[in-house]
Structure 1
Amino acid sequence: MRDRVAASDPGLLRLAAGLRTVLSIALTLAVLAALDAGVTHLVAGAISAMVATFAIREKQRAPQAVTLALGLPVALASVSLSALLTSRVLLGDAFFVVLIFCAVYGRRFGDRGTALGLIGFQTYFASLFVGVTPASLPGFLGTVAIAFACGALARFVLVPQTPTGILHRLREAFRARLAQLLEALADLLDAGPDDVDRVLEQVRVGTARLHETAMMIQGRLEEGTPDEAVARLVQRRIADAEIAAERLGLLLLTARSARRADTLTLHLPGAQLPERGRLPVRDEASDALRRDLTALALLVRRPVAAAPGTGLAQVRNRLLGYRDDENLPSASPAVQDVFRGIGETARAVLGLRIALDGPQDDSDDSPATARSREELDAEDAAIGVAEETEEPSEPETGLRRPTTRAAVQVAVGSLLAIVGGEFLSSQRWYWAVLTCWIVFINTASTGEILVKGYRRLVGTVLGVVAGIVLAGLVGHHTWTAFAVVLLCVFAMFYTAPLSYTLMSFFVTAALGVLYTLLHTYSLSVLVLRVEETALGAACGIVAAALVLPVHTDRRTNDLLTTVLDRLAEVTSTAMDQLSGGPPVDLLEQARDLDQALADLRAAIQPLTHPVTPLRTRRETARYVVALLETCAYHARALAATAELLPTHPSIAADPGLKGAGERILRNIRAIAAHVGDEGSAEPVRTGPSIASLLDPGVPATPRYGRVTDRVLRHLQRLDEAVLGLARPLDVPVAAPRG
């Protein structure tokens, strides 16, 4: 159960966010109740406590404290100005628009600027919601101060989170997700023709979730691990384990199929295995394979160092023994490759344990395990020899800067929302402004804003129905109603990273209860809430489409070009290093590629959303992203192999490898040029299969033993995936010259 929780919520970040916010609100309500505050003060305090909690985004505790301290005067000033401008409608509306512009523009100053902008906007909104006037202002200023103090207590005392603790929990989540992926692979081995598609989809999901956790760890290493050498070691071992698990999945797919499985199968939803109806084989080798896949998952879940006796040590020794050909069972070459993959994955798990938990007991080591330890020790000793080279990017200025453009767009959209909202309701027009503001958060194109507005509207409509039910059940019981609000707040923060629609649902349900507490509840109010939400979303979409627009096609093309540039950079650097060039921080470059791909995946959501009417375009977008994920996997594998070059006894530089990858690099750059400039006529070029460069050697030569062979196989798959990108992107394909 602990592993399931760790895997479902890596780092327990969602759970901590929900608990911290709920405790902050509960403390605020308790203090205000002890002071005999009225319901309006209770509501204002709850909203202020929530804002003071979720707005803070820094990862270190000291910067969090500074931002929270700076946020209090910002909140007090915002509430004061709202109260003083209550009777001056036009001046108040103009100031609200200026405040919105400044709040969004503040994002250019990083997490602190973003937090202070959120605090300023949300507290101004809260004061409009509860109706703060100059006469009641002193009491509400005290309420806000209490809310911020309770927020600090919840953050730093009741639910403390340190970068080191978060990183530790993320590592546990990686371990749990790795075990789940291995269990899914064991299920895939036994899946019959009726179940193979379902189990294969579980493998795809497990692979994607493992990669997601690896990216989260990468983002927390700098803050959570003060020692740079240790951080780099953890980064390398996480990458090794991820690559080994994905390679094991590919080898298993090949063993189940009539031919070598395509890496795309693990990344493209709906892709089917060759000969999908083939039944699992039942023989001695396959039985051993099932046993060892289960044992490998057990080894991940229960490390040898944490288990008494020698049972797990013997299992580990047996699995690591598969790295030597003499220990392989008698089976077909494809099945033997799976056993080798199990051995390599067991080695990656051993390295991960040493990196995370320190030196392990080696008293029960077999010769194969001892050799693996020696290889890992040699690699660990070489940590830090590579130097990171990063070229500074040219900053954008003026209206080209994303924060400036977004600030202008949201200001125009909010102005439209204020005007339209006043026609719907002179009392609650601010709901349209809130929606317009929210749809611009974390969006960068017109399509993203359209999808976010749609999701918010759907969540709001469903939340209105829930609000009607909840208001009827608990509306006359103040503290029961606040308890329901707290549950909704927790659910809102817990589901926010998973579903924006669910988050909007819980927000609206909580508001229905709050309206009841403020004695302003009615069905017409909740219907007005839907109307204002629709109006705000429409104003945001209109502003995004007409004011300094960034069309979805343009944004996706820019991000696609970035992904291709990162892919060419990683591949080129890896090939240089494998050919004898100087060491470079390849894993960092590989993670830059992964981050660029994650940005692209988020940007194409408007194209892949289920309501998108252009079905062919949706399938094309999914196919292109799956091909890019395939390319990224092979690039990561090349980078990881190149990183081992200075220390690994069985890997030597091969100058011929650089020439093998030249055509791939030319093709990647040709595709990037075509995407970035549709007038580019440079075609991609086909050529001899890179696999044909493999020297078969003598019959006794192991198929899997030479690292050069493995590098060339990754290059071959990368070549195929890059050529596959040409067709959906309409890049011309030409035969090789001469």
Structure 2
Amino acid sequence: MFSGFQLRDWLLANDPALSRLRMASRVTLAIVLSFLILLAIHASVLPLPTAAFGLGIVLSIEGGIAVRDKGNARQLVTRLLGCVASLAIVAVAAGLEDSRFLSDLVFLVVIALASAGRVFGPRGFAIGMFAFTSYFMGAYFRPSLADLPEVAIGPVVSVLVGHLVRAVLLPDDWRRDLLRSLESVRGRINQILFKLAAIAGSAEVGDTDRQELRQLEDRLKEVVLMAETFIPRPPAGVFDGAADPAAELAIRLFDVHLAAESAIVLSFQSPPPFALVHAVIETDKAELATYEGMAESIGDQPQSETVRALLWLGEARQQLTQAIDEGQASGFSGIDTINDTAQSQPIDFSFGNPLLRSALQITLASAIAMGFGLLLSRERWFWAVLASFLVFTNTNSRGDTAMKALSRSLGTVFGIAFGLGLATLISGEQAIAIPVAVVCIFLAFYFLQISYATMTFFISIVLCLVYGMTGVLTLDLLKLRIGETVIGAVAGTAVAFIVFPTRTRGALDGALARWFQALRDLLDALGEGKGSFELIALSQRIDACYRDVTVAARPLGSSWSVVTRPGQIRQTLAIFLACTYWARILAKNYQTPDADDNLHRLIAADLALIDNAAPRGSACFLIERKASRTTGRHLPLLREGARLGLEMIGSALERLYPQADVLPFAAGEAIARSKQG
């Protein structure tokens, strides 16, 4: 059985900073409290219409997910504005109830306005979601105008309870989240060390082991990027000096991430000794000292470089542990909170703004879903509109939309199949059904950020349980639910591919352009002799851009894609990952006094390769390459780390286009060296 500490470590390893746990807890607690308060009002004060309960529950969900403003005061303002919008929208829906055709047209107008509201940022997005779901519930439950005062209690209660949960019961705390994310970083480094221990002493690292280590590396990168967001930075994003406690912590995090990546890369070349990995895990100082001497005696052999990488990782891990211990003791009291001084961006109402193009797509998809949904059912067509609206949320391309539509359809089908059996099994046992429904709500929003299909699966189970408890559960109703969901998903996908289509490669081109620009900025900063903190900040931007590239490339390499093979996608992403890694090695080891003409020539050569590759965008993902494994030393010594980093970046960029019509990097270097000689 898990002990309390083991359970916490497991949660942190799978949910950095416990962010998913906290969001699911907030949504679930807000729903439960809102429902109980409304039930108490219904039982002891005045009877409430069903619409009040429906709005209270749905707006509790939106309050926990859609409200993303920073700071409790801003969140409260957004919730109150959302509540006002909700009450106005429900009043409109009730007033138009006798004119169903006009009501349906107004629903489309609400959808258009709610979608377009996203151009105003997080607040516009949240108010738009409040408005959409409120009209949805108003048209679904059809309250009369006379019922509006009682109906209004639902949104008001949900808004107040949602703010209470978010601001008081489960508040945000960046210091707590920073500590938890650092603990998650340490946990994922431990996973890497355990895997290295498993392969230690092998003659060669197998493909399965390589894949697993790469996955562990990706998971480490994910949590490091999260931890970096919790460290307060100056408005310019660059620390002034190492004396700043926040700067020291950022450097420790940067160092341990780089050390872990180096240990993985070098272990591919030469697996580490088991005794060394065990000494790093156990922090055995005597054994580590023995290997320090061994690394010096071996010289520049591959085994020596692997040993150095493990020793570096061991030292960086100890420094991270020290930072965690200090954070636990002091709560990072030496790090000051920096107020959000970000300037608001100008609002772009042209169709050049992808948010407005998306609003048009959502409106058209909703109209199509409404039309076909009405043909299937005059009473339940709202499900089709809901599906078509939601498949566009947080998608960047038509491939993304298609994947989300498929996930929603599959989640609905399997959720209803499971929920039907479960509801039948516990029919009439509300004492069992209600807790099960609460657990399913929690699980749905716990998995929201990692699997939309899983979220939809659990929500479908909840609906089956609710239908069962209210006595309306029938097989025909569930078939209708599936049919309407499929209609909405298909409508959304069709519009995404036809109207203002954002091709997967188009989204990938944009992500690649940002990645190349970030790399170019780093190389330019090197040539200008910028300070180490600025170089590290620029290399971290490359890391963040690489994450965006992997997200944009995901639909291109999915199993249903006929564009190219997933293997090519992985090979190309590996090249960008290598460049990103060496860019951070370069930022760490570059020292301005060591700059010379040769380094400037290397920088110029890398910039030339970027100028050749960047305009071609995502074409590099369609090139077939021979699988190659980089050989030679990977861990640079400090005296030549900048040079080696530049060389390795150039070597990786060359691999994007093996037949590029530019002078190959290696040949260019050979010529440069011959001229020097």
TM-score (norm 2): 0.85
Alignment of 1:91-240 (within 5 A): 91-190=102-201, 196-222=206-232, 229-240=244-255
Over 3 Å counting, the alpha-carbon distance change for 1:319 and 1:575 in structure 2 is farther
Equivalent in the alignment of 1:253:
268
Structure 1 residue 5 corresponds to structure 2 residue 11 = yes
Distance 1:359 1:398 in 2: 47
Distance 1:59 1:224 in 2: 17
Which of 451, 460, 463 does residue 415 from structure 2 map onto?
A: 463
* Paired amino acid for 1:588: A
Distance 2:660 2:466 in 1: 56
Alignment: residue pair count: 632
CA displacement at 1:358 relative to structure 2: 4.6
CA displacement at 1:434 relative to structure 2: 0.7
Structure 1 residue 527 corresponds to structure 2 residue 479 = yes
Distance 1:321 1:725 in 2: 42
Q: Deviation digits for residues 314-342 of structure 1, max 9, x if unmatched?
A: x347637866x577466982222222222
* Paired amino acid for 1:11: A
Q: Gaps (5+ residues) in structure 2? A: 1-5, 330-334, 336-341, 621-629, 672-677
Percent identity over the alignment is 27
Structure 1 residue 607 corresponds to structure 2 residue 618 = no
Q: Is the 8 A contact 2:48 2:151 kept in 1?
A: no
Distance 2:343 2:177 in 1: 30
Q: Is the 8 A contact 2:78 2:123 kept in 1?
A: yes
Q: Deviation digits for residues 432-491 of structure 1, max 9, x if unmatched?
A: 111111111111221111111111111111111022113213443445433222111111
Equivalent in the alignment of 2:313:
345
Structure 1 residue 724 corresponds to structure 2 residue 629 = no
* Paired amino acid for 1:723: E
Which of 516, 523, 526 does residue 468 from structure 2 map onto?
A: 516
Equivalent in the alignment of 1:674:
616
Equivalent in the alignment of 1:419:
371
Over 3 Å counting, the alpha-carbon distance change for 1:328 and 1:223 in structure 2 is closer
CA RMSD of aligned residues (A): 3.5
Equivalent in the alignment of 1:562:
514
Q: Is the 8 A contact 2:397 2:502 kept in 1?
A: yes
Equivalent in the alignment of 2:504:
552
Structure 1 residue 291 corresponds to structure 2 residue 275 = yes
CA displacement at 1:347 relative to structure 2: 3.1
Distance 1:186 1:559 in 2: 36
* Paired amino acid for 1:640: K
Distance 2:346 2:509 in 1: 19
Q: Is the 8 A contact 1:565 1:669 kept in 2?
A: no
Equivalent in the alignment of 2:60:
49
* Paired amino acid for 1:496: L
Equivalent in the alignment of 1:590:
539
Distance 2:279 2:72 in 1: 41
Alignment of 1:362-377 (within 5 A): none
Q: Gaps (5+ residues) in structure 1? A: 257-285, 300-314, 362-382, 384-389, 679-688, 695-702
CA displacement at 1:394 relative to structure 2: 10
Query: What's the secondary structure of 1:631's corresponding residue?
Result: helix
Distance 1:93 1:545 in 2: 25
Equivalent in the alignment of 2:674:
none
Q: Is the 8 A contact 1:319 1:342 kept in 2?
A: no
CA displacement at 1:33 relative to structure 2: 2.5
CA displacement at 1:241 relative to structure 2: 0.7
Distance 1:86 1:192 in 2: 75
Q: Deviation digits for residues 19-59 of structure 1, max 9, x if unmatched?
A: 11111111122222323266834444322322222222234
Equivalent in the alignment of 2:288:
319
Which of 61, 68, 75 does residue 79 from structure 2 map onto?
A: 68
CA displacement at 1:221 relative to structure 2: 2.4
Over 3 Å counting, the alpha-carbon distance change for 1:587 and 1:91 in structure 2 is farther
CA displacement at 1:733 relative to structure 2: 5.0
Over 3 Å counting, the alpha-carbon distance change for 1:320 and 1:146 in structure 2 is farther
Over 3 Å counting, the alpha-carbon distance change for 1:136 and 1:295 in structure 2 is farther
Over 3 Å counting, the alpha-carbon distance change for 1:222 and 1:621 in structure 2 is same
CA displacement at 1:352 relative to structure 2: 3.1
Distance 2:505 2:637 in 1: 44
Q: Is the 8 A contact 2:13 2:188 kept in 1?
A: yes
Distance 2:98 2:28 in 1: 34
Query: What's the secondary structure of 1:496's corresponding residue?
Result: coil
CA displacement at 1:519 relative to structure 2: 3.6
Structure 1 residue 709 corresponds to structure 2 residue 640 = yes
Distance 1:704 1:11 in 2: 31
* Paired amino acid for 1:668: I
CA displacement at 1:74 relative to structure 2: 2.0
**Higher mean C-alpha displacement, 582-591 vs 605-614:** 582-591
**Higher mean C-alpha displacement, 630-639 vs 290-299:** 290-299
Query: What's the secondary structure of 1:585's corresponding residue?
Result: helix
Equivalent in the alignment of 1:24:
30
Distance 1:723 1:94 in 2: 56
Q: Deviation digits for residues 550-570 of structure 1, max 9, x if unmatched?
A: 222222222222222222222
* Paired amino acid for 2:600: K
**Higher mean C-alpha displacement, 716-725 vs 67-76:** 67-76
CA displacement at 1:532 relative to structure 2: 1.0
Equivalent in the alignment of 2:598:
656
Over 3 Å counting, the alpha-carbon distance change for 1:564 and 1:330 in structure 2 is closer
Distance 1:176 1:103 in 2: 41
Structure 1 residue 430 corresponds to structure 2 residue 382 = yes
Q: Deviation digits for residues 256-315 of structure 1, max 9, x if unmatched?
A: 4xxxxxxxxxxxxxxxxxxxxxxxxxxxxx7xx32231232344xxxxxxxxxxxxxxx3
Over 3 Å counting, the alpha-carbon distance change for 1:337 and 1:582 in structure 2 is closer
Q: Is the 8 A contact 2:276 2:291 kept in 1?
A: no
Distance 1:92 1:393 in 2: 35
Over 3 Å counting, the alpha-carbon distance change for 1:491 and 1:690 in structure 2 is closer
CA displacement at 1:343 relative to structure 2: 2.5
**Higher mean C-alpha displacement, 599-608 vs 14-23:** 599-608
Q: Is the 8 A contact 2:48 2:150 kept in 1?
A: no
Over 3 Å counting, the alpha-carbon distance change for 1:452 and 1:489 in structure 2 is same
Which of 339, 346, 353 does residue 401 from structure 1 map onto?
A: 353
Equivalent in the alignment of 1:626:
574
Distance 1:253 1:690 in 2: 10
